[in-house]
Amino acid sequence: MFGYMIKRFAYSIFTLFVIITITFFLMHAIPGNVYNSEKNLPPAIVENIRAKYGLDKPLSEQYFTMLKNTLKLDFGISMKNRGRPVNDIITEHFPHSARLGIFSITLCLFIGIPLGILSALKKDKWQDRLAMIIATLGVSVPGFVVAVLTQYLLGVKLKWFPVIGDKTIYHLILPAIALSFLPISFIARLVRSSMVEVLEQDYIRTARAKGLSERVVIYKHALKNSIMPVVTYLGPLIAGVLTGSFVIESIFNIPGLGRYFVTSISNRDYTVTMGVTIFYAVFLVLMNFAVDVLYTVLDPRIKLKN
Amino acid sequence: MQLSREELFKPLNRQRDNKAEVATRPSLTYWGDAWKRLKQNKVAMFSLAVIVLIFLAAIFGPMLSPYSYSQQIRGEENLGPSLQHPFGTDSLGRDMLVRVLYGARISLSVGVVACIINLTIGIFYGGISGYFGGRVDSIMMRIVDIIYSIPTMLYVILLMVVLKDRLDNLLKLPVFSGLQAAGSGLISIYLAIGLTYWVSMARIVRGQILSLKEQEYVTAAKTLGASSFRILVRHLIPNSLGSIIVTTMLLIPDAIFTESFLSFIGLGVDAPVPSWGSLANDALGSIRTHFYLLLFPSLAISITILAFNLFGDGLRDALDPRMRK
């Protein structure tokens, strides 16, 4: 168990190293210098600026400097927002994204799983059909469409929810719905199919034969095994909520890191784009590692060979 | 009482009953059988019809329309849906129907081109990895594992940023003048999606090849002296075609989804070329007054992705009944 964890962790670190290297060389493949857009700068000033960001040094030296700085969790200085460290930007904006993300993931689990269970228990009845129709729609409608439609209909027209910002939990409801619509559908389908499978297993028949009540059979015996696939889906779920937030935060005007990331792309603020990409990559790879460990702890059937 | 053999068994009257010996149903090939199963699936057939319709509308719609996608009609700005402009016009007086139809060309082409790139890379990568096995396989699969754990969307975005800048310069060269019409944005979407989504295809092909290569007909082909390449291309890949097709069908909506996402955050096609995502993005500013501008592109994206998803599900059930849930 411990050996597996160390191996898995080393693997994550190696993945991160590859990610950082790819990011670095991709960003440096962008031709010209970053101040191309500001045409009036005299060459001497451009040289100065390049020297300030270390862009005048050989590529290999820049690479190792960056690697060292990344190890120290230092992502450099914004190129557009003069002198502002990328770390500052991350610590200021990421909490907004994290709050929205945690709320959305909670929503996903607390709606998706019960929906899947209901479907499985009422298999082929109207409840199941309805839930599966909603789930099929859910995987087909992009998050930004859900966001804009609900913002317009429930926010602007009916005035049930606030339309922009993230001051209170109440403000987070619409963006969280938009972010979790697709994962809810996915989780519901996942739980339904695994629950249907589990309910046919021998140990469920044994539990029923012992005379246990239906409630105990389902919630104590069947549920545990049927939500295991959801644990494996947690990794992609976190990644999906994170990337989904790029547009959702823009639509709902939430000052999160996703919105800042998108702005940095259109502003050609390359250090911010690179820093945030690496930050997100580190975050997601570590999350995946945590989910993997959680999975092996929860499911003793998994053999820890490999 | 004893029964004689003649009493127990009645001889078959060959003259009269010879039909009993003939197979009543014509023998079906794998594909014929799959098609038969697919035809019985009403939802899948309806989705197929919708997909064909969308393709036809994308190809012929812009030709039949009296307007072009970039034509600005003075004095007809911001009109709601009417007979003349069924989807209304935008703030520059452009007909929305033709823009949505043209957007369908862009979005569908992204789906198709990205899939061709995925297929080519995925099949050869997965095929080689699965067929040669051993050390080659484990090295190739380690690489896939690493790419797989890289958050895709982040890398599509990063690739887009880089490719767009590079292509802007490349397209100025006279050699690529033919590609200029497509624009650097569209070409970088093709490449960015094509280069990142092949991983799942490679995994599936590898899995198929790994199990297929143990079959007797591969041993037979080897005994007859067929080359590895021939075995791979003539025996193994055709036999894994079923799952390759299903994966492809489910990748198309993913690619369309990604394209609209990228265009929505302003990384996609270059104006004035419309794509569904950029149309939806353009509509954001005037959503309170001109809701229809958002409604039609959103519906177009959702219906297309839904149709591809449902058809893909049906195809999976038809091609491989064991995978049915």
Q: What band does B325 get if pLDDT is binned at 50, 70 and 90? A: very low
Q: What band does A128 get if pLDDT is binned at 50, 70 and 90? A: confident
Please check the confidence at residue B149 and state whether its pLDDT lies above 60: yes
Please check the confidence at residue A304 and state whether its pLDDT lies above 60: no
Q: Is B301 close to A142, i.e. CB distance below 8 A?
A: yes
Q: What band does B321 get if pLDDT is binned at 50, 70 and 90? A: low
Q: Hey, CA dihedral for B85, B88, B92, B97, is it positive or negative?
A: negative
Residues on chain A touching B153 (C-beta within 8 angstroms)? 239, 243
Average pLDDT over chain A reads 82
ipTM over 0.90: no
Number of alpha carbons in the 13 Å side-chain half-sphere of residue B227: 3
CA distances from B202 to A11, A42, B147 (A): 21, 50, 12
- Residue B90 is predicted with a pLDDT of 73
Instruction: Give the residue from B197, B269, B284, B262 showing the smallest Cα distance to A265.
Output: B262
Instruction: Give the residue from B294, B269, B296, B298 showing the smallest Cα distance to B283.
Output: B294
Tell me, what DSSP letter sits at residue B24? S
Task: With H, G, I as helix, E, B as strand and everything else as coil, classify residue B266.
Answer: coil
Residues on chain B touching A151 (C-beta within 8 angstroms)? 287
Calculated CA dihedral for residues B158, B162, B163, B169, nearest 10 degrees: 160
B129-145 pLDDT, tens digit per residue, is 888 888 888 888 888 88
- Residue A31 is predicted with a pLDDT of 58
Q: Is B266 close to A242, i.e. CB distance below 8 A?
A: no
Q: What band does B150 get if pLDDT is binned at 50, 70 and 90? A: confident
Q: What band does B24 get if pLDDT is binned at 50, 70 and 90? A: low
Q: What is the mean pLDDT of residues B91-115?
A: 84
Position with higher pLDDT, B236 vs A36: B236
Q: What band does A137 get if pLDDT is binned at 50, 70 and 90? A: confident
Q: What is the mean pLDDT of residues B21-50?
A: 79
Q: What is the mean pLDDT of residues B254-271?
A: 82
Residues on chain A touching B323 (C-beta within 8 angstroms)? none
Tell me, what DSSP letter sits at residue B267? -
Most confident of A269-273, B209-213, B268-272: B209-213
Greatest C-alpha distance within chain A: 86
Å from B7 to nearest chain A CA? 48
- Residue A110 is predicted with a pLDDT of 92
Number of alpha carbons in the 13 Å side-chain half-sphere of residue A163: 13
Paired with B89 in beta bridges are B95
Q: What is the mean pLDDT of residues A72-96?
A: 82
CB distance A179 to A106 below 8 Å: no
Share of chain B above pLDDT 90, in %: 4
A–B interface: beta-carbon pairs under 8 A = 107
Alpha helices in A252-269 (DSSP H): 257-266
Domain borders along chain A are 89-259
Q: Which of B150, B265, B309 sits opposite A136 (nearest CB)?
A: B309
Calculated CA dihedral for residues B76, B77, B82, B84, nearest 10 degrees: 40
Q: pTM of this prediction? A: 0.81
- Residue A306 is predicted with a pLDDT of 44
Q: What is the mean pLDDT of residues B122-131?
A: 87
Interface residue of B158, B160, B191, B284 to substitute, partner A, most A CBs within 10 Å? B158
Q: What is the mean pLDDT of residues B218-230?
A: 87
Q: 3-class secondary structure for A150-215?
A: HHHHHHHHCCCCCCCCCCCHHHHHHHHHHHHHHHHHHHHHHHHHHHHHHHCCHHHHHHHHCCCCHH
Q: What is the mean pLDDT of residues A83-102?
A: 87
Q: Hey, CA dihedral for A134, A136, A139, A141, is it positive or negative?
A: negative
Position with higher pLDDT, B1 vs A74: A74
Q: Does A284 touch chain B (CB under 8 A)?
A: yes
- Residue B53 is predicted with a pLDDT of 92
The DSSP H or E segment spanning A278 is helix A270-298
Least confident residue range of A53-62, A225-234, B311-320: A53-62
In whole angstroms, give the CA distance from residue B86 to residue B56.
18
CATH topology of domain A89-259: MetI-like fold (1.10.3720)
With 0-12 / 13-18 / 19 or more C-beta atoms within 10 angstroms meaning exposed / middle / buried, residue A90 is buried
Q: What is the mean pLDDT of residues A171-192?
A: 89
Residues on chain B touching A273 (C-beta within 8 angstroms)? 158, 161
Position with higher pLDDT, B87 vs B99: B99
Question: Taking CA atoms, what residue in B is nearest to A260?
Answer: B265
Average pLDDT over chain B reads 80
Position with higher pLDDT, B268 vs A214: A214
Q: What band does A296 get if pLDDT is binned at 50, 70 and 90? A: confident
What amino acid occupies position A277? T
Q: What is the mean pLDDT of residues A252-266?
A: 84
Q: What is the mean pLDDT of residues B295-312?
A: 88
Question: Taking CA atoms, what residue in A is nearest to B146?
Answer: A15
- Residue A105 is predicted with a pLDDT of 92
Share of chain A above pLDDT 70, in %: 93
B155-209 pLDDT, tens digit per residue, is 788 888 787 777 777 766 666 655 555 677 788 888 888 888 888 888 888 888 8
Q: What is the mean pLDDT of residues A242-255?
A: 85
Domains parsed from chain B with CATH numbers: 40-62+85-323 (1.10.3720.10)
Please check the confidence at residue A211 and state whether its pLDDT lies above 60: yes
Please check the confidence at residue B268 and state whether its pLDDT lies above 50: yes
Q: Is A27 close to B162, i.e. CB distance below 8 A?
A: yes
Peptide bond into B62 cis (omega under 30): no
Interface residue of A144, A200, A252, A270 to substitute, partner B, most B CBs within 10 Å? A144
Most confident of A109-113, A247-251, B176-180: A109-113
Q: Which of A148, A247, A273 sits opposite B294 (nearest CB)?
A: A148
CB distance B51 to B308 below 8 Å: yes
